[in-house]
Each structure stands twice: as C-alpha cells, then as structure tokens.
C-alpha cells in the first residue's frame, strides 16, 4: 500500500509542474523516475495522479 504522504508528495510535484502553464514531457518523465526510485510503477503513479484521494498529508518539519 502506498502511504498518504507519498501520494501527497507526487500530487504536489504534479501541481508544481503544471503551475507555469507549460507542462513539458520531461517533467512527466522526471515524475516517473522519482516514482521508480521510490518503488512505484508507472501504473501506480498514473493512478495517484488520475484519481487523487481527498486524504492528503503535509510533511512535518
């Protein structure tokens, strides 16, 4: 199971990539690379981005 914190992390990165109205394929490739480094498949990342949950988490400092 993927933690809420990790899902939230990828959703924030996705939002940042879209924030300049110039979402580039390289940004998506980087998200896939980050996901792979954290043990997620492309399908899992796609599910996170396409079906965001209402649960979110902000990391504690």
> What is the full per-residue pLDDT of the chain (61 aa) written as tens digits?
889 889 999 999 999 998 998 889 999 999 999 999 999 999 999 999 998 876 655 656 5
Distance CA 36, CA 41 (A): 6
Q: Single out the residue of 49, 43, 40 nearest to residue 10, CA to CA.
A: 49
Kindly report the pTM of this predicted structure.
0.79
């Amino acid at each position: 199971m993927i933690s809420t914190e990790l899902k939230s992390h990828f959703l924030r990165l996705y939002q940042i990539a879209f924030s300049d109205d110039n979402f580039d394929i390289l940004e998506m490739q980087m998200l896939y690379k980050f996901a792979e480094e954290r043990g997620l498949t492309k399908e899992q990342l796609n599910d996170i981005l396409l079906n965001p949950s209402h649960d979110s988490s902000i990391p504690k400092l």
